[in-house]
Amino acid sequence: MKKLYLVALFLTGCASTTGVVSMGKDAYMIAREDNGPAASLGAIKAAAFKEAGAFCSGQGKTMQVTKESDTPRSLGQFPQTTLQFTCV
């Protein structure tokens, strides 16, 4: 049972996020990374957009992207995305 738990833990990987971070007046950002073996840039990017949308929706506003930055998976590099946005 212990081996099965360790295998499951390895396969789930470790995703991390900054959460919504204020960058000044009406400007925010979210950064995400996933170092799991099946991590995909698309999945973490979609999660960042959903989180930003929910944050703005909670204020009765909609999310507007101001800047995006992506790092795809490559040898020794895990997929990362950074989303900068405002709520309008």
Query: Residue 7's pLDDT is what?
Result: 46
Whole-angstrom distance, CA of residue 72 vs CA of residue 53:
23
Whole-angstrom distance, CA of residue 31 vs CA of residue 19:
7
pLDDT (tens place) for every residue of the chain, 88 residues total: 565 444 444 445 567 888 999 999 999 999 999 888 778 899 999 999 999 999 999 999 999 999 999 988 877 778 999 999 999 9
Query: Residue 1's pLDDT is what?
Result: 58
Query: Residue 11's pLDDT is what?
Result: 46
What does pTM read for this prediction? 0.77
* Spatial contact of 4 and 20, defined as CB atoms under 8 Å apart: no
Query: Residue 34's pLDDT is what?
Result: 86
